[in-house]
Amino acid sequence: MTDFPLCDLFQITPKEVFARRAFLDLTDEDERHLATIREIIQADLDKIVGEFYDHLLKADELKRFLSDRRTVDRLQATQRDYLLSLGRNADQLQYFEDRLKIGITHERVGLKQKWYLGAYAILFEIVSRHVGARYVHQPNDLLRLLSSFKKIVTLDMVLAVETYYQATTQRLEGILQQLTDAQQQLQEVSRLDGLTQVSNRRFLMESLEVEWHRSVRFTRPFTLLLVDLDDFKRINDEYGHRFGDFVLQRTVAVMRSTLRPADLIGRYGGEEFAIGLVETDGDLAKQIAERLRLKIALSPFESEGQKANVTASIGVASVEPDVDRVEMLIERADQALYQAKSGGRNQVCIYRRPYP
């Protein structure tokens, strides 16, 4: 494996880079034009990013992806880096690798293609407007600049679309293969937990293994939450198992309303659940875990005239370079969960590596 796994996957070699640039007629003159455009972007960077996100927030469906302030800050920082790198070293494999990652990331978090392709068009329009404001009296120069700009945006869009379709195809092929294997080997075993209708432990472990491999291969963040309901035995003893089953089902409903469609949810055992957060680092995962903990604590657990207060303890662990198997990630999340339990319950703890 090289330093460019996505380029390897899509068979993008230096020869292919040359061919794609030649097809779009990207020349040295375009490189100079793009350098000028980057200077304008640098000067108007905050305005451009602000206008871009103001436009995105007009779509109700996108608000769900942009509802968290920390997520927006992280995405805006990424957007700034993207804008300032437009066309820079676009004859290098690293440029292609970075653009290919965009499609992979969008597909994994469940963002529909119509939104991010539309976003390219909006971004092109906003940047073009800022460039045009500086070349009002130089229409010929403006035309040449925007021609170069259109070429590089087209290249970036094509690369993002390629990875999106490839990732979708791979995901579908993986699901079909898993279904085939399950049919042959475990015809009598369902992938869903019968009570809560989330992944059972076996399928949960398979899914976590897949996401861990993706995280390691493409150097993308992935974080595991272990969620354990506090004093669940007391709830069963005091209110009965029927009410205890309701509590588990209600907890899953709260989880689903808090998480994204792409995130994994599974029943790890008894009153313990595992959640896999794709494209999520430890800091953001802690915020999500805190939000989930608070929603569980504030949610009404009332059924058939019975009502109980329910809380949860949550352990958080992220994939790091020394995590060489998914079991190690689970062990770390379990250690953090134990710390949350022993610290008084109803809290979130993040795994911290001990000092040597």
pLDDT beyond 80 at 212? yes
CA distance 30 to 261: 41
In this prediction, residue 350 carries a pLDDT of 95
Average pLDDT over residues 28-36: 95
Residue 346 makes CB contacts below 8 A (sequence gap 6+) with 230, 293, 297, 311, 312, 313
- Residue 201, token pair as written in the block: 């432990």
Side-by-side strand order, sheet with 348-350: 264-269, 272-278, 222-229, 312-318, 348-350
Domain boundaries, the chain: 5-170, 201-350
Decide whether 5-170 matches 201-350 in CATH topology.
Answer: no
Q: Mean pLDDT throughout 63-92? A: 85
pLDDT at 286: 94
| DSSP codes joined into one string, 266-306 | EEEETTEEEEEEET--HHHHHHHHHHHHHHHHHS-EEETTE
Residues taking part in catalysis:
271
Q: What is the pLDDT of residues 113-165, one digit of tens each?
A: 778 778 888 999 999 999 999 998 998 999 999 999 999 999 988 888 777 77
Lowest mean pLDDT among 21-35, 74-88, 219-233, 307-321: 74-88
Dig out the tokens for 353 from the structure. 């590596």
Give the angle 278-7-164 at the CA atoms, nearest 5°: 45
> CB of 97 within 8 A of CB of 104?
no
**Contact predicate 146/131, CB 8 Å:** yes
Residue type (1 letter), 349: C
Residues of the chain with pLDDT > 90: what percent? 64
What is the DSSP secondary-structure string of 218-248?
HT--EEEEEEEETTHHHHHHHH-HHHHHHHH
Whole-number pLDDT of residue 171? 65
Predicted confidence band of residue 110 (pLDDT cuts 50, 70, 90)? low
Q: In the predicted model, what is the mean pLDDT of the chain?
A: 89
Structure tokens given for 231: 């004093």
d(CA 3, CA 134): 40
The pTM of the full predicted model, rounded to 2 decimals, is 0.55
DSSP 192: B
pLDDT value, residue 168: 65
The CATH classification of domain 201-350, taken from the options 3.40.50.2000, 3.30.70.270, 3.10.310.70, 3.40.640.10: 3.30.70.270
Q: Mean of the pLDDT values across residues 185-205?
A: 79
Does 188 have pLDDT greater than 60? no
**Which residue intervals of 44-87 are DSSP H helices?**
45-56, 60-65, 69-84
> Which region among 45-54, 148-157, 175-184, 298-307 has the lowest average model confidence (pLDDT)?
175-184
- Find the helix packing angle between 139-185 and 28-43, rounded to 10°: 90
Residue 318's H or E segment, with its range, is: strand 312-318
pLDDT digits (tens, 9 = 90+) for 284-295: 999 999 999 999
pLDDT of residue 1: 58
Nearest to 152 by CA among 84, 101, 218: 84
What is the per-residue pLDDT across 161-176, written as a single tens digit (0 to 9) for each? 777 777 666 666 776 7
pLDDT of residue 352: 87
Q: Which residue has the higher pLDDT, 304 or 182?
A: 304
Mean pLDDT of 80-99: 92
Mean pLDDT across the stretch 253-261?
93
Tokens of 6: 């996505």
Q: What percent of the chain has pLDDT over 70?
A: 92
> Could you tell me which CATH number the domain at 5-170 has?
1.10.490.10
Which pairing describes strands 301-303 and 272-278: parallel, antiparallel, or unpaired?
Answer: unpaired
